[in-house]
Amino acid sequence: MPNDRSTSAAAGTSQISQAIGVHLKASETILDPIISASDFWSLIRASWGTRMTINCNFLRTLSNACGVAALVAGLCIATMSEAGGLGDGPVFSRLAVGGAVLVKPKYEGSDEYETYGIPYAMLTGDGSGRFSFNDADDVRYALFRQNGFEAGPLVGYWFDRDENDARILNGLGDVDGAFVAGGYIKYDFGGFYADLSLHHGVSDDDPGYLIRTAIGSKTKISDRVTLKGLAGLSFASDDYMDTYFGVTAAQSIASGILPVYNPDSGIKDVHVSLSATIALTDRWYAIASGRYARLVGDAEDSPIVESEDQFTGLFGLAYKFGGHVSPVPLK
């Protein structure tokens, strides 16, 4: 038979349980009109979706920033290398700081433009003019030079494409930015040069590759100013054309307005460019460049192309710390 203490404890426990039950009932009465359990979980899912959207936008911005940083680094290294501002010494023996402004179409085929600007700081070296900046996906290092021939690796970046960049892209989904790796060979003859290069995109989208060929000329018009101009064309692989100009059946349905479009590999564009490298002082260097490309063939006929005329402009500045300034003869 339970003693009085046990009976008292049981009674106390019962009272506490009843109090908790009353409190929970009251809480439910108060909370139910405000938010139900299903609404609560819907709110959680919506919040998670918003966070994921923010994270994706952040990653897109970060990816583009990394791409631009790589391009600006290549640009300013090339600027000082061409202008003879890196001096003698091993690679990565000098500190250079600078920045650039890049103006480009929102996507390949767009009739609207966007601007990127980013500062950078990088250790540099090698005063032999081996670094060169030719385009966003074409930062080179001359690994081999002999009897007018030059060859080496190249790196760069292809910017991403967001379906929100234009109404015509709605339903197509996003295309990730891609780092570019490849190589080139060039031959100098009588003040001109012939150039052949391979640019392969590296990303989950497997965006394919471009092959570019061009004829150009590089002239040092003074001790401080070097001009370079070229004319060329770009050949695009099937994967590249599908990624940047194609429309799949699923995308056509999602878009509601675009037809299915399966472009073939072939000549994508013809282009011309002009750039100037200027030694402003013994330590300050500038580069300005402009490029015009005309989309042709299956690229021009793509339903997502708003303009066949594509312009790109760039202006950059760099400052070199340390070392001495030793002009480098034009190669």
- How does pLDDT run across 5-28, given as a tens digit for each residue? 444 444 444 544 454 444 434 444
Domain range spanning residue 53? 40-321
Q: Which two tokens stand for residue 185?
A: 């060979």
Per-residue model confidence (pLDDT) at position 145: 93
Cα 76 to Cα 107, 136, 313, 316, 322: the distances in Å are 25, 13, 15, 7, 16
Contact 269, 283 (CB under 8 A): no
Q: Which two tokens stand for residue 252?
A: 């056509």
Residue carrying the six token digits 């379906």: 163
Is position 331 within any domain?
Answer: no
Per-residue model confidence (pLDDT) at position 6: 46
Clarify whether residues 242 and 171 are in a common domain. yes
Low-confidence residues in the chain, pLDDT < 50: 1-13, 15-17, 19-38, 40-63, 65, 72, 76-92, 127, 324-331
- How does pLDDT run across 263-286, given as a tens digit for each residue? 999 999 999 999 998 999 988 989
Return all residues near 108 (Cβ < 8 A) that are at least 6 apart.
Answer: 161, 244, 245, 295, 299, 310
Distance spanning both ends of the chain, measured CA to CA: 108
H/E element holding 8?
helix 4-31
Per-residue model confidence (pLDDT) at position 130: 80
Is position 329 within any domain?
Answer: no
Per-residue model confidence (pLDDT) at position 93: 52
Per-residue model confidence (pLDDT) at position 122: 60
Is position 156 within any domain?
Answer: yes
Is position 313 within any domain?
Answer: yes
Clarify whether residues 12 and 103 are in a common domain. no
| 246 closest CA partner among 233, 258, 234, 257 | 258
Is position 327 within any domain?
Answer: no
Phi/psi of residue 44, each to 5°?
Answer: -60, -45
Clarify whether residues 103 and 17 are in a common domain. no
Clarify whether residues 91 and 212 are in a common domain. yes
Clarify whether residues 13 and 142 are in a common domain. no
Clarify whether residues 78 and 206 are in a common domain. yes
Clarify whether residues 10 and 153 are in a common domain. no
H helices present in 205-288, as ranges: 238-245, 249-255
Q: What is the dihedral of CA 69, 72, 78, 79, to 10 degrees?
A: -150
Give me the DSSP letters along 127-176.
TTS-EEEEETTEEEE--EEETTEEEEEEEEEE--B-GGG-GGGTTS--B-
Per-residue model confidence (pLDDT) at position 28: 41
Q: What is the dihedral of CA 87, 88, 89, 91, to 10 degrees?
A: 60
CATH label of the domain that carries residue 202: 2.40.230
Clarify whether residues 16 and 125 are in a common domain. no
Per-residue model confidence (pLDDT) at position 134: 81
Is position 310 within any domain?
Answer: yes
Clarify whether residues 192 and 58 are in a common domain. yes
Give 179's DSSP letter.
E
Contact 293, 313 (CB under 8 A): no
Is position 326 within any domain?
Answer: no
Is position 294 within any domain?
Answer: yes
What whole-number distance in Å separates Cα of residue 117 and Cα of residue 110?
20
Clarify whether residues 187 and 315 are in a common domain. yes
The structural domain count of the chain equals 2
Contact 157, 136 (CB under 8 A): yes
Clarify whether residues 22 and 119 are in a common domain. no
Clarify whether residues 136 and 102 are in a common domain. yes
| 235 closest CA partner among 209, 216, 255 | 209
- How does pLDDT run across 121-161, given as a tens digit for each residue? 665 555 456 877 788 899 899 999 999 999 999 999 999 99
What whole-number distance in Å separates Cα of residue 178 and Cα of residue 246?
18
What whole-number distance in Å separates Cα of residue 242 and Cα of residue 3?
85
Q: Which two tokens stand for residue 266?
A: 């072939």
Per-residue model confidence (pLDDT) at position 119: 77
